[in-house]
A and B are shown apart, each in its own frame.
Chain A
Amino acid sequence: MDKQTLGKKLFRWESALVLLLVFEVLVFGAINPKFLMPRVLLGSINNFMSICIVSLFVTFVLITGGIDIQAGSIVGLTSIVIGVLWNDGGLNIYTACLVGLLVGATCGLLSGFFVAYTGVQAMVVTLGGSFLYSGLALAVTKFSSTESYKGISGFPESFTAIAKGKIFSIIPNQLVIFIALVLFAYVLLHMTKYGRKVFLCGVNKNAAEYSGINSRLVIMSTYVLSGIGASIAGILLTAYLGTAKTDLGKEITLPVITAVVLGGTSNLGGTGGVIGTALAALLIGLLRFGLSMADVNTQYLDIPVGVLLVLAVAARFTGSNDKIRSFFRRFRVLFSK
């Protein structure tokens, strides 16, 4: 598959996602007109922003052919590190956030190192990572005077306003931050040399190696990126909820993978894109929100998401499989006669 058709295909998948997104907004708007109120629609985005942000950078990992199921635990670790440093270490909250980012990057680096340099499967390493980092998060609370079950709260308003504030009192800050991160990730993945290397490592690691790319370094770096992404989500979630807790983000792992795969990134590596992930994350988030606005009980919301994922991925796979395509073509010819 040469680059052009690849680009074309992705573009088309993304437009399918846009169509679905528009369709979704229209349908839910028709069911419950409140859904279309800008305050409600945009406000709902705050509730799933952490999934959107984390999935952006996990996309990089999946493109190299890896997988990252530790991001959720890095969210919690970042959150509690910030809380403890601010509450008990007496650090300025923003300095604490910087340290939090550093912690996230280090966690990513550690797991990335094991994936890239030891050849252990990414699934195994990041599964271990998820236990290690959520365990560390609980250990960190021992340095705090607050009992771990209470969470650390009482953050300054300027900090919580980062995630809760709205520009022109309508556009949530988190959405603006997300768009900025999408742009950053897009440029990094699709317009730089580094991004090309990431793709090449996923297509064929050996070929990448032979063409002079330090594939291990590239692969390791994608885990650092996803660690940083998880930390950003951790900071925003802490600010949004107004509390630092060890178990924040523990439920986002599978939704993140879902968003990335639905966005058109292959879990086998080599293909994918940031825009698709961003659209898919919004699609899932709005689907869940819209359904609950349509009075569906929250506990059933996983069903349509599951259906959507399996169908979409199956459809995309079918659409790109030459054998099935030619079968359908024959079918069509048969009928037209």
Chain B
Amino acid sequence: MKKTICIVLGLMLVASTMVFAKDKPAADSKKGITVVFVPKLTGNAFFESANIGAQDYAKKHGFTVKYDGNPEASVANQVTVIDNAINTGADAICVSSVDAKGLDSIMREAKKAGVKVVTWDSDVSGDARTVMVSQGTPDILGKMLVDMLADSLKERGKNPAKDAIKYCWHYSQATVADQNSWQVAGEAYIKKAYPNWKNVAPSNYYSEQDAEKAITIGEAILTAHPDIDGIICNDSTALPGQAQAAQNLGKTKKDVSITGFASPNSMKGYCKAGIIARWGLWDCKIQGALGCYLAYYLASGKTIKVGDKINVPDIGTVEVFPNTVLDPKAYTAKDSGVVLLPERAVFTIDNMNNYNF
């Protein structure tokens, strides 16, 4: 009996290995340069579209991008993915880190092993990677979030400059670097430009990039503060969740202004239904492509230094800035810099159908 069990289980293992291994026979061939592209988590519209952008771009320009991530966003999971990339002999990695410091040591190990290290979307310490592809400085993005809210408020007859606007923030968690830096910059901007606004939840609402939790938290916000004027969701899971919550409770863009960052496709339905007036994002397909291109650029033997201007085919010329553009206290060195995405977009009912990601 036990023997049969062993054999059956063994066969199952082999079978599952073969089934899945067949998926990607190309990545093992050592012909071209392989970049391992690591998202914070898989199955999220933002990261999946960044991957589509990266894959298309790589195919066109003759290198391989292997998308590898875990459905659950955590430091330990990402460390495992990167460790595996080193072990399987990847030439470069391009990572969106779930943690500002937690990946530093494994990234340094990767560098030591000769793997080129690039980050995108969410950064690690400056000395643990060569270049970061950033969607914009915290000041740019924080202001963008607040301006979108102010525009939506105006649209429904409020006066953001005078009325006592009640608002709050709803995003992933207190431990994510980029989203918190936008929130801090946005708050600073509100204090300066709109001192009449009142944050009803200074410790913020967090939904941990969990789609269901985003709805639950979203409903909790609307129930706890029925008179709230605006909710800023600077997280691509929180925003659709918040919009769904508003829809569930029968609220529309006339009752409460919801805005934030999410991919156009994930919000089109809510925009058509009149739940949300405007939201924004950068073109994450270009961000994914640019990150992977720079990783490929490094892996093909070129170097990147602060002050360089790099001509990226199909995307344009980008400049390498010192790390201090993102954080004034950041580590500075010649061989560690930041590249900013050329542009960002605000989506409304009028232009959303021009974007498909």
- B-binding residues in A (CB < 8 A): 12, 16, 19-20, 23-24, 27-28, 31-32, 34, 40, 43-44, 47-48, 50, 138, 141, 147-151, 153, 160, 164, 237, 241-243, 245-252, 287-300, 302-304, 307-308, 311-312, 315-316, 319, 325, 328
Complex partner residue of A242 from B16, B25, B87, B104, CB under 8 angstroms:
B104
Nearest-neighbor residue (CB-CB) of B41 within chain A:
A299
Nearest-neighbor residue (CB-CB) of B102 within chain A:
A243
**B68 proximity list for chain A (CB < 8 A):** 292, 297-299
A295 lies within 8 A of B175 (CB)? no
Q: Mark B77-96, 1 if CB is under 8 A from A, else 0.
A: 10111011001110000000
A34 lies within 8 A of B88 (CB)? yes
Given the contacts A44-B87, A149-B175, A315 and B77 also touching, CB distance less than 8 Å: no
Q: How far is the CA of A16 from the CA of B21 in the complex (A)?
A: 25
Complex partner residue of B75 from A23, A27, A150, A243, CB under 8 angstroms:
A243
Shortest C-beta distance, A87 to chain B (Å), equals 12
Complex partner residue of A312 from B9, B28, B106, CB under 8 angstroms:
B9
A300 lies within 8 A of B5 (CB)? no
Complex partner residue of A16 from B5, B81, B100, B106, CB under 8 angstroms:
B5
Complex partner residue of B12 from A50, A248, A308, CB under 8 angstroms:
A308
Shortest C-beta distance, B195 to chain A (Å), equals 24
Q: Mark B10-24, 1 if CB is under 8 A from A, else 0.
A: 101110110011011
**A252 proximity list for chain B (CB < 8 A):** 76
Within B54-90, which residues are at the interface with A (CB < 8 Å)?
A: 67-72, 74-77, 79-81, 83-84, 87-89
Shortest C-beta distance, B204 to chain A (Å), equals 11
Q: How far is the CA of A43 from the CA of B237 in the complex (A)?
A: 35
**B2 proximity list for chain A (CB < 8 A):** 12, 16, 319
**A164 proximity list for chain B (CB < 8 A):** 105
Q: How far is the CA of A243 from the CA of B103 in the complex (A)?
A: 9
**A294 proximity list for chain B (CB < 8 A):** 17, 20-21
B177 in the interface (beta carbon within 8 A): yes
Shortest C-beta distance, B93 to chain A (Å), equals 13
Residues of B in contact, count (CB < 8 Å):
52
Nearest-neighbor residue (CB-CB) of B26 within chain A:
A295
B17 lies within 8 A of A248 (CB)? no
Complex partner residue of B5 from A138, A141, A245, A319, CB under 8 angstroms:
A319
B21 lies within 8 A of A298 (CB)? no
23 pairs from A and B in contact (CB 8 Å cutoff): A19-B6, A27-B13, A28-B17, A47-B76, A47-B79, A149-B100, A150-B100, A150-B177, A151-B101, A245-B99, A245-B102, A247-B74, A249-B76, A251-B77, A290-B17, A292-B80, A298-B70, A298-B84, A299-B42, A304-B16, A307-B16, A315-B9, A319-B5
Given the contacts A241-B79, A302-B71, A149 and B177 also touching, CB distance less than 8 Å: yes
B88 lies within 8 A of A295 (CB)? yes
Shortest C-beta distance, B247 to chain A (Å), equals 28
Q: How far is the CA of A128 from the CA of B300 in the complex (A)?
A: 52
Shortest C-beta distance, A105 to chain B (Å), equals 23
Q: Mark B265-279, 1 if CB is under 8 A from A, else 0.
A: 000000000000000
Nearest-neighbor residue (CB-CB) of B5 within chain A:
A315
Given the contacts A27-B13, A247-B173, A251-B77, A153 and B84 also touching, CB distance less than 8 Å: no
B176 in the interface (beta carbon within 8 A): yes
A151 lies within 8 A of B102 (CB)? yes
A151 lies within 8 A of B175 (CB)? yes
Q: How far is the CA of A164 from the CA of B84 in the complex (A)?
A: 16
